[in-house]
Amino acid sequence: LSLSSSASGASVVAIDNKIEQAMDLVKNHLMYAVREEVEVLKEQIKELLEKNSQLERENNLLKTLASPEQLEKFQSRLPAEVLCPEEQSPGVAAPAQHSGGSAV
């Protein structure tokens, strides 16, 4: 009788060990997948920062080369929140927009 209860106890321990090993395997797999995804996202962020920097340089160059009339004409076509989103607040009136005709 005691032989069967000790064998039963040993099988419970063996099952517990296998469950623990399986959980460790799943944890390791998930950690690897997360690390891999973080590396991909870091690379995407780096590329986006580089692209943003390039576009800012191009924008500054275009602003420098454009005449005041061209800038005014361009800005009149854009919604106010595009021109200066950080300056927009509920108490500040947006610049008047042209309402007539189509912009060509």
Per residue, what are the HEC states of 42-74? HHHHHHHHHHHHHHHHHHHHHHHHCCHHHHHHH
pLDDT tens-digit readout, 9-40: 889 999 999 999 999 999 999 999 999 999 99
pLDDT of 5 higher than 60: yes
Residues 83 and 75: beta-carbon distance below 8 Å: yes
CB 90 within 8 A of CB 82: no
Q: What is the pLDDT of residues 36-93, one digit of tens each?
A: 999 999 999 999 999 999 999 999 999 999 999 988 888 888 876 665 666 544 444 4
The single-letter code of the amino acid at 58 is E
83 is written with which tokens?
């021109």
pTM above 0.85, yes or no: no
